[in-house]
């Protein structure tokens, strides 16, 4: 009992520092908590592509709310979102642990739509980890869960990711068959963004098979359907892929045109990471042509965007690339200066990674401790109810026995009296 009180005291201290804002949630109804968790679920696919920091904050808020109020739906939406964040941050084992816990819950309550998404995300986690056979296993489970839903869109959800896994496994024919099926089904449903995605992977698949003509055709179709979906980010990706294929075919003019179109579209989306990447790609293009001045211009644009938006990884990559340009020009003094900047950025980057990991570990520990305490409270409450029920039963039994004994005594008394 003393240990449990001490644990509760620790949770109070941590939550006072980290979750003071959660106090108003005590007034929320169950319906309101479910609505908050459902909105977080809707945000999952948007944040997982564009904003992992916001995804982490949202996951912790929803999971903490669920734990504080004993709402299993919110707890497991939080675990799903937190697991997605962790696997994309390189914490594969921890992330998959949360995702598997969420899957067990959604399978138990027969919420097959969310289960399909969670299983697909477990597959993504294993694929990012490089464990492709495990990824295949969970993508197939996701397809099986999807078939239990009424929406044909969920039936095929994991096919495109499974196709990507087959490409990485070198199973190109299997990948092609699966991606073609996904593409045809998505076409029937007029889901043009999904069609564009399928064509992009079909292009990549043919590229690995050295079938550059068909690869180019698929990338062009990916861009065409991307336009129909009006997803500028996807169209920009398709143009980048086309640029690479044209470059490999030594069609330099067409390659440059596609790289520039990708940059223009990414400037419209205003995504700093993608804009930095577009400038970096153009710098690389001009390096290959031996036009170092133009390469440096684009690399400096990349550096400016990266610095403005505090993208340390991108700053590291472009700094290293600039140093390599100066080496190619035999300007070793300048190359050395830039290399020192690279070393400094590298130190900052790994310090930040260590700090983020430490901070994440603290928050995960807080959530795990809170869950442990809440489970202990729940078990104690169940035990108390059992004891109370048993006490009630005993009282009833004693009452009945007492009535029976009194009745017998009264009966004996009257018998004596009659006799």
Q: Which residue has the higher pLDDT, 395 or 323?
A: 323
**In whole angstroms, what is the distance from residue 238 CA to residue 223 CA?**
5
What pLDDT score does 376 carry? 61
Can you tell me the mean pLDDT for 42-69?
Answer: 86
Which pair of structure tokens corresponds to residue 170? 């070198």
pLDDT over 80 at 229, yes or no: no
> pLDDT confidence of 397, banded at 50, 70, 90?
low
Residue with the larger pLDDT of the pair 222 and 298: 298
Confidence band for 383, pLDDT divided at 50, 70 and 90: very low
The pLDDT of residue 50 is 73
Average confidence (pLDDT) over 184-210: 92
Task: Please give the pLDDT value at position 47.
Answer: 84
User: Do 316 and 346 touch, CB atoms closer than 8 A?
Assistant: yes
**Highest mean pLDDT of the ranges 50-64, 128-142, 341-355:** 128-142
Q: How confident is the model at residue 146 (pLDDT cuts 50, 70, 90)?
A: very high
What's the chain's average pLDDT? 83
Question: What is the C-alpha to C-alpha distance for residues 276 and 220, in angstroms, rounded to an integer?
Answer: 23
3-state secondary structure 135-158: HHHHHHHHHHHHCCCCCHHHHCCC
For 70-79, what is the mean pLDDT?
93
Q: How many CA atoms lie within 13 A of 325 on its CB side?
A: 26
Residue 21 has pLDDT above 50, yes or no: no
Q: Above 90 in pLDDT, residue 136? A: yes
Rg (CA), the chain: 30
User: Please, which pLDDT band fits residue 203 given cuts at 50, 70 and 90?
Assistant: very high
Q: Provide the pLDDT confidence category of residue 389 given band limits of 50, 70 and 90.
A: low
Residue 212 vs residue 392, higher pLDDT: 212
Weakest mean pLDDT among 128-132, 183-187, 196-200, 309-313: 309-313
Q: What is the mean pLDDT of residues 63-90?
A: 91
| pLDDT the model gives residue 5 | 41
Q: 103: number of CA atoms within 13 Å, CB side?
A: 20
Instruction: Read off the pLDDT of residues 99-134 as tens digits, 9 standing for 90 and up.
Output: 999 999 999 999 999 999 999 999 999 999 999 999
Whether the pLDDT of residue 285 is over 90: the answer is: yes
pLDDT at residue 202 in the model = 95
Q: Give yes or no for residue 1 having a pLDDT over 60.
A: no
pLDDT at 121: 96
- Average pLDDT (333-338) is 88
Q: Where are the alpha helices (DSSP H) in 251-331?
A: 252-269, 272-288, 292-308, 312-328
- According to the model, what pLDDT value does residue 193 have? 87
Q: Which has the higher per-residue pLDDT, 149 or 405?
A: 149
Looking at the chain, the whole-number percentage of residues with pLDDT higher than 90 is: 47
Q: What are the structure tokens assigned to 248, written together?
A: 């490999």
Burial per residue of 299-309, b for 16 or more beta-carbon CB atoms within 10 angstroms, e otherwise: bebbbebbeee
Global confidence as pTM:
0.74
Cα–Cα distance, 142 to 159 (Å, whole number): 9
Residues found in the chain: 419
**pLDDT band at 269, cuts 50/70/90?**
confident
pLDDT at 392 over 60: no
390 vs 34, more confident:
34
Whether the CB-CB separation of 142 and 113 falls below 8 Å is answered with no
Give dist(CA 212, CA 402) in Å, integer.
94
């Amino acid at each position: 009992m003393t240990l449990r009180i001490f644990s509760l005291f620790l949770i109070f201290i941590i939550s006072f520092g980290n979750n003071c804002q959660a106090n108003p949630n005590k007034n929320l109804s169950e319906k309101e908590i479910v609505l908050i968790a459902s909105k977080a679920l809707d945000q999952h696919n948007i944040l997982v592509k564009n904003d992992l920091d916001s995804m982490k904050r949202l996951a912790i808020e929803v999971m903490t709310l669920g734990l504080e109020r004993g709402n299993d739906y919110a707890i497991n939406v939080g675990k799903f979102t937190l697991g997605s964040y962790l696997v994309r941050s390189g914490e594969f084992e921890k992330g998959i642990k949360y995702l598997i816990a969420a899957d067990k819950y959604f399978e138990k309550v027969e919420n097959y739509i969310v289960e399909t998404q969670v299983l697909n995300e477990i597959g993504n986690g294993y694929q990012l980890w490089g464990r492709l056979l495990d990824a295949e296993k969970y993508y197939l489970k996701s397809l099986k869960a999807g078939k239990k839903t009424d929406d044909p869109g969920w039936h095929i959800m994991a096919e495109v990711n499974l196709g990507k896994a087959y490409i990485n496994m070198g199973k190109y024919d299997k990948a092609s068959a699966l991606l073609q099926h996904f593409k045809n089904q998505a076409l029937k449903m007029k889901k043009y963004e999904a069609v564009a995605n399928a064509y992009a992977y079909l292009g990549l698949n043919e590229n690995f098979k050295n079938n550059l003509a068909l690869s180019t055709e698929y990338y062009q179709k990916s861009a065409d359907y991307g336009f129909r979906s009006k997803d500028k980010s996807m169209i920009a990706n398709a143009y980048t892929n086309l640029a690479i294929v044209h470059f490999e075919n030594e069609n330099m003019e067409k390659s440059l045109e596609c790289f520039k179109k990708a940059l223009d579209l990414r400037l419209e989306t205003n995504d700093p990471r993608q804009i930095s990447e577009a400038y970096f790609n153009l710098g690389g293009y001009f390096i290959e042509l031996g036009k170092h001045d133009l390469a440096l211009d684009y690399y400096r644009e990349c550096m400016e965007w990266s610095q403005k938006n505090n993208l340390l990884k991108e700053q590291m990559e472009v700094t290293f690339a600039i140093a390599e340009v100066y080496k190619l020009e035999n300007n070793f003094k300048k190359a050395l200066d830039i290399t020192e900047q690279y070393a400094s950025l590298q130190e900052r980057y790994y310090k930040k990674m260590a700090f983020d990991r430490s901070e994440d570990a603290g928050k995960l520990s807080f959530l795990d401790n809170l869950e442990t305490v809440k489970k202990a409270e729940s078990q104690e409450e169940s035990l108390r109810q059992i004891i109370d029920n048993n006490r009630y039963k005993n009282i009833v039994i004693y009452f009945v026995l007492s009535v029976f004994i009194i009745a017998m005594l009264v009966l004996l008394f009257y018998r004596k009296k009659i006799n």
